[in-house]
Structures are given as structure tokens and as C-alpha cells.
Amino acid sequence: MIGASLTLIEVFGIKIRVNISWAFIAILLAWGLAEGYFPTIHEQLPQATYWWMSIVAVLGLFLSILLHELAHSLVARAYGMEITGITLWLLGGIAELKGEPPSPKVELLMAIAGPAMSICLGTFFWLSAGALEAFVSVATVLSYLGMLNLILAAFNMVPAFPLDGGRVARAIIWMRTGDYLQATRTAARMGALFGLGLIIVGVLGLLTGAGLASLWWVVLGMFVRFAADSSKLQAETKNVLAGKPVAEFMTPNPITVPSETLVTDLIENWIYHYDFEFFPVVEEKCVVGSVNLRDVRSISLDQHQAIRVKDIMQPITSDAVASPRDLAASVLTRMQESGKSLLMVMEGVNLVGVIAMKDLFRVVAIRSSLEQTE
Ligand SMILES: [Zn+2]
């Protein structure tokens, strides 16, 4: 999501990754605990002890978030959903699920599993802290982790999508109405509002001098709003494209360019002339590849006179082509996974059209806004 992630281990075949931001937050948190929080709770311990306590606490938090996400993932997998991995980052963890839950019941169970795990962990840490009261430093770390896990559970149960509570809310509305799209819209609206609330709290905090911690709320609020928005878009896309073939959304009879064309020519007579950024390349009426703006930009200006389209074109590969009968929704998923935003639509060896990711999203935006005003 933000910056690079590092794969740590694999548990039950699920890759556990850590985003770079986590290392940063971990150091900041350990420092805050060692220099601030723990010394105020228990005075007169040696400074080194505070640091040991802090490192253990940060690792404990890491493990707690991981177990929370694993609980989500394992329930999801038990119901046949595919999990690509878990990424721990700045604001917690994200279990990456492929696709959407098949039924409201699965979504409900999956969503509740995480907070349930946190409540169990919180209770366990509290009880252990009580049992080990004699060891001040150990008990302090345990009760801190107990508190953190309960806060984690409580925060996640706020009914604002994409938080777990928002998923619970969506599942319940979905169960009652049978309308997945409407349920997602309602849960996403709550998510967007909650995100706005967090941003306002953060900004007020910054204005009143509550310190940099307020920035955290702003970032969290922005993330919640972004995630709520994209979930809504995803549900609308699924709804608009459902069951419809690529043929319905493609641009038919696209303009092609012969492979022998010089790049100067391509720019003058195709790109500037048609204002398209993508052209299928033909050789004696047969499609042999495609060329786009990025390919043109990859060569320097003084080479435009010497290089031909066939030297810079992308060859035809299976991920660059769709059939007019393919389902638009699955082609969109393919585009998002491969990063190819334009595909050639071929009927056997014949080129019949071009399909662009942004056209699909434009159709979704238009039809969804019509639907909402009905
Ligand atoms: Zn969760």
C-alpha cells in the first residue's frame, strides 16, 4: 500500500509481510514506551529494564495484530476464500483476500473472528498480569498488552467500513435485505463519515497543540475514507459488470498501425491525429502486437527518425488479449493484476476491438450514479 513490504515467514501457507512503515512505528513506539509510558507507571526501575519491557511490548503488539489477522484469514479459508497474504503496516494489519465473501454469514463470521481473537488475547494478558503480579516489569508489560488488545477489539468493532465492525454491519444489512450493493453502500457511507470524524479529531488535536500523535488520526481517517470509497467502487463495479461480456464495453474496429511505421510517423499521424494512447500493430492485416505511449517515451527523441514501431511494440501475449465473450468483470480483475490497462479484443486471429480499464470505470460511474438517484 505505502512503500515496500518484506516477506517474513509463511504460516499455514499464508505469507506474512511487514511494511517498511512498521519498522518506523515500532521504533517510535518502543521509544515512547521506554522513555515515557513505563517510567510513569512504575518509577525506580533501571532505564535498561524500561527498554527491555518496551521491546517485548512492541513484539507482543506485533504478535497480537498478526494473530488478529490470522483469525480473519483462517475463517475465510475455512469457507473457501483465497488468502494471498497478511501485511502488517503502519496502522495495523491487512489480510489480503481474493474476491468478496460468498455469503453474509461468511462475512459475519470472518469479520467477528479478528476482534474475538483480540478479546481472547486481551483477557489472557490481563489474567497473566494478575498471576505474575510479583514480577513488576513482566506484569506491567502483560497488562499493557491486555489493554492494547481490548482497545484493538473495541476500535475494530466501530460499525464503519472497512473496519471489522463495518463488515459486521454490512453482513447484517446484506442478510436482512439480500442486497449486497446497498449493504456495501450503507457500510461505506458510515466508514466515510467515521473517517471524516477521525480527520477532524486529528486536525483539532494539531491545532490545540496535542502533538504529533494527532497526525496519526488524520492518516488513519484518510485511510478509512479511501478504503471505504474503493470498497464501494468495487461493489458497484461488480454490480454493473455482472454477467456482461467484454463485447458490450469495448471500442470496436480500433485504429491500427503498420509495424514498419517510423516512430516519428506514429507520433505525427496516429497519436496526435487520433489522440489515442494505444494502437494495435499489424503486419499484412495480421495483428502482431501493440504499441502505447510508454513504449514511445522509452526511446530518446533523436531515435524517432530511425526506429520503427515493430522495434518498440509489445508482442501479443495471453495477458494482452481478451475474447469478446469473456466476462468484463473477470477481464477487469485480470487488468488490475497484470497492470495492463488496455487489452486487444480478438476473435480467433481477428482483431475486433480494444478494451480500456478507464472506460470500464467510466461506465460503472455513470450507471451507478443513475441508479442512486432513482
Ligand atoms: Zn480485523
CA 236 to ligand 1 centroid distance, Å = 23
Ligand 1 centroid from CA 170, angstroms: 14
Query: Mean pLDDT of all residues in the chain?
Result: 85
Give me the sign of the Cα torsion angle 199, 204, 207, 210.
negative
The answer to whether residue 134 scores a pLDDT higher than 60 is yes
Q: Which of 75-79, 84-88, 109-113 has the lowest mean pLDDT?
A: 84-88
Residue 123 has pLDDT above 90, yes or no: yes
What distance in angstroms lies between residue 96's CA and the mean position of ligand 1's atoms? 11
Average pLDDT over residues 311-332: 87
- What's the CA-to-centroid distance between 168 and ligand 1, angstroms? 11
Q: Which of 207, 241, 275 is the last residue of a domain?
A: 241
373: CA distance to ligand 1 center in Å? 33
Dihedral of the CA atoms 147, 153, 155, 158 (nearest 10)? -150
- Residues spanned by the domain of 40: 5-241
Give distance in angstroms: CA of 156 to centre of ligand 1: 6
Task: Indicate if 231 and 300 belong to the same structural domain.
Answer: no
Whole-number Å distance, alpha carbon 56 to ligand 1 midpoint, is 22
What is the rounded average pLDDT of the residues 130-141? 82
Q: How far is the CA of 117 from the centre of ligand 1 (A)?
A: 9
Q: Distance between CA atoms of 18 and 5, rounded to whole angstroms? A: 5
Whole-number pLDDT of residue 116: 96
Contact by Cβ (8 Å): 315, 291? no
Calculate mean pLDDT across residues 174-182.
89
251 and 206 in one domain?
A: no
Same domain, 218 and 345: no
How far does residue 114's CA lie from ligand 1's centre (Å)? 5
Ligand 1: centre distance to CA 161 (Å) = 11
Last residue of a domain, one of 200, 226, 241: 241
How far away, in angstroms, is 163 Cα from ligand 1 center? 7
| Statement to judge: residues 237 and 250 lie in one domain | no
d(C-alpha 296, C-alpha 93), whole Å: 40
State in Å: Cα 118 to ligand 1 middle. Answer: 9
Mean pLDDT of 114-126: 95
Give the pLDDT mean for 101-123: 92
Q: What is the pLDDT of residue 194?
A: 92
If you measure from the C-alpha of residue 160 to the centroid of ligand 1, how many angstroms do you get, rounded to a whole number? 12
Report residue 193's pLDDT band, with 50, 70 and 90 as the boundaries: very high
> Does residue 110 share a domain with residue 173?
yes
Given a cut of 70, whether residue 373 has pLDDT beyond it is no
Query: Looking at the structure, do residues 288 and 301 belong to the same domain, yes or no?
Result: yes
pTM for this prediction: 0.71
Confidence of residue 1 (pLDDT cuts 50, 70, 90): very low
Q: What is the pLDDT of residue 372?
A: 63
Q: Which residue has the higher pLDDT, 152 or 22?
A: 152
- State the CATH number of the domain containing residue 333: 3.10.580.10
Are 184 and 39 members of one domain? yes
CA 329 to ligand 1 centroid distance, Å: 27
Distance 157 CA to ligand 1 centre (A): 8
Q: Is the pLDDT of residue 13 over 60?
A: yes
User: What's the gap in Å between 217 CA and the centre of ligand 1?
Assistant: 18
Residue whose entry in the numeric block shows the C-alpha cell 503486419: 283
Q: 121-135, 187-201, 291-305: which has the minimum mean pLDDT?
A: 291-305
What is the arithmetic mean of pLDDT over 154-179? 89
Q: How far is the CA of 65 from the centre of ligand 1 (A)?
A: 8
Final residue belonging to a domain, choices 206, 221, 241: 241
36 alpha carbon to ligand 1 midpoint, in Å? 28
Ligand 1 centre to CA of 340 (Å) is 31
pLDDT per position as a tens digit, 279-288:
889 888 788 8
Calculate mean pLDDT across residues 263-270: 87
Residues 230 and 285 in one domain: no
Q: What is the 3-state secondary structure (H, E, C) of the chain?
A: CCCCEEEEEEECCEEEEEEHHHHHHHHHHHHHHHHHHHHHHCCCCCHHHHHHHHHHHHHHHHHHHHHHHHHHHHHHHHCCCEEEEEEEECCEEEEEEECCCCCHHHHHHHHHHHHHHHHHHHHHHHHHHHHCCCCHHHHHHHHHHHHHHHHHHHHHCCCCCCCHHHHHHHHHHHHHHCCHHHHHHHHHHHHHHHHHHHHHHHHHHHHCCCCCHHHHHHHHHHHHHHHHHHHHHHHHHHHHHCCCEHHHCCEECCCCEECCCEHHHHHHHHHHHHCCCEEEEEECCEEEEEEEHHHHHCCCHHHCCCCEHHHHCEECCHHHEECCCCEHHHHHHHHHHHCCCEEEEEECCEEEEEEEHHHHHHHHHHHHHHHHHC
pLDDT for 213-261, tens place per residue?
A: 788 888 888 988 988 888 888 888 888 888 889 888 888 888 889 988 8
> Rounded mean pLDDT of 286-314?
86
Ligand 1 mean position, distance from CA 166 (Å):
10
Same domain for 153 and 258, yes or no, is no
Instruction: Give the total number of structural domains in the chain.
Output: 2
Around ion ligand 1, which residues have CB less than 5 A away? 114, 156, 164
Q: Check whether residue 86 and residue 175 sit in a common domain.
A: yes
**Residue 121 pLDDT > 80:** yes
Same domain, 343 and 297: yes
If you measure from the C-alpha of residue 190 to the centroid of ligand 1, how many angstroms do you get, rounded to a whole number?
17
Query: What is the rounded distance in angstroms from the CA atom of residue 116 to the CA atom of residue 78?
Result: 17
Same structural domain for residues 179 and 309?
A: no
217 or 92, higher pLDDT: 217
Peptide bond into 162 cis (omega under 30): yes
Q: Is the pLDDT of residue 97 over 50?
A: yes
